[in-house]
Structure 1
Amino acid sequence: MAKIITEDTRLQQECTADVLLFGTPKDRLDFYRREIQYETSLLSNRTNAYLTAQSFLVIAFASSMANLNPEWGELFTLVVPSLMAVLGIFSSLHAWPGFRASYVIIDHWHFKQSHLLRSDPVMGKAYDDSPLFNEKESSQKGYRKSLMFSMRTPWLFVIFWLLLASFCIYVQLANASQ
């Protein structure tokens, strides 16, 4: 028997599939929260690894600027720190897409969670006899502010490395002209 698929049948099939997948709205909420926690942990790990790499690069930059070898120290302190600054800029630019991807995924799961809390009156008010969220905690503004450090860090380091490279080149060229 041929079946005509209408919008209503499609929505009914999706609702049936959701029930089979999640069971209850609480299961769905728990799933969303686990996904948010997982992606937040990934973003945190990426940020920690990035900051660790940048800190070692800054230490190497400062050490190479302190080279006092009379024979080749001037050339060394012009070339090596400049290359490290370029490496810092490239690593920052390559870290950005990973941070951005995590941010987008976290944003998606927060959207799904807030939609669930708003669409299901039982879930939105309380499922364990206490308020689940107040508006301040569940707003987009709240969690987005908490992610700004990770989102801004690569761009701050790009600016930092540009300033250090400029300083390095200026110092060496100013000393060479004297």
Structure 2
Amino acid sequence: MDKSSKKKQENRWKWWDDFKKRNDSKKKQENWWKWWNDEENLKSIEYYGLIDQEIHREHNLIANRMNWYVTSQSFLMAAFAVSGNNNYRLGFLSIFLPILGILTSFIIGASLYAAIKAMDQLKTEKKRILKQDKYLGNISTFKARFVDNKHPWIHWVGIFPARSIPVLFFIFWFIFLYLATQTKIC
């Protein structure tokens, strides 16, 4: 190879070396991946908006899980009612359906409680932002509801069905499982 072709070949990969140097220096910066909590990149109002979107997403997850849960429970109850008919009695269904109801109550109830816990953590962060930012903290709607915490019962009552319905169905299915194993009512 002559000198000019060697030089061309060396220059061909120079851009790659430059790219690697730039990329490596970015990685060395402290917390370069935490863009969502970087005060230089996000203003508090934008950060507040992101947290509000996440809270909205958690509400949607809770609503979807409740919908799945109530739908599954209605099918289980219908099957349980049909299996208890005098003309059409299947003994294993009187035990299997309550066990399935207990399992779905436990699984979906745990996922609902996890979503509620995640939402509470997001609301705590939302309150922190409102206390730190003078502009957002002085908006009367935000101030009364989140900073001063004047209406905590609104959130509690709004989440109450997601907290209570799985427990009620769990108790219901446990009672029917007990009755199915102790007596031949079911």
TM bin (shorter chain): 0.7 to 0.9
What is the aligned partner in structure 1 of residue 95 from structure 2? Answer: 82
Q: What does 1:1-178 align with in structure 2 at a 5 Å threshold?
A: 18-22=38-42, 24-69=43-88, 73=89, 76=90, 78-126=91-139, 131-135=140-144, 137-138=145-146, 139=149, 140-169=152-181, 172=184
Q: Distance in 2 between matches of 1:38 and 1:98?
A: 14
Kept after mapping to 1: 8 A contact 2:55/2:123 = yes
Counting aligned pairs with the same residue, the percent is: 24
Q: Distance in 1 between matches of 2:85 and 2:143?
A: 54
Q: Distance in 2 between matches of 1:79 and 1:153?
A: 26
Shift of residue 119 of structure 1?
2.0
**TM-aligned CA distance change 1:39 to 1:21, over 3 Å:** farther
With the length of structure 1 as denominator, give the TM-score of the two structures: 0.73
User: What root-mean-square deviation, in Å, do the aligned CA atoms of Structure 1 and Structure 2 show?
Assistant: 2.4
Q: Distance in 1 between matches of 2:85 and 2:175?
A: 17
1:66 partner amino acid: N
SS in 1 for 2:39: helix
Deviates more, 1:46-55 or 1:88-97: 88-97
Shift of residue 170 of structure 1?
5.1
Give the count of matched residue pairs.
148
Q: Distance in 2 between matches of 1:146 and 1:31?
A: 22
When Rg is computed on C-alpha atoms for both structures, the one with the higher figure is 2
What is the aligned partner in structure 2 of residue 3 from structure 1? Answer: none
With the length of structure 2 as denominator, give the TM-score of the two structures: 0.70
Greater relative contact order, per chain length (Cα 8 Å cut-off, separation 6+): 1
Q: Distance in 2 between matches of 1:118 and 1:94?
A: 37
Shift of residue 98 of structure 1?
1.1
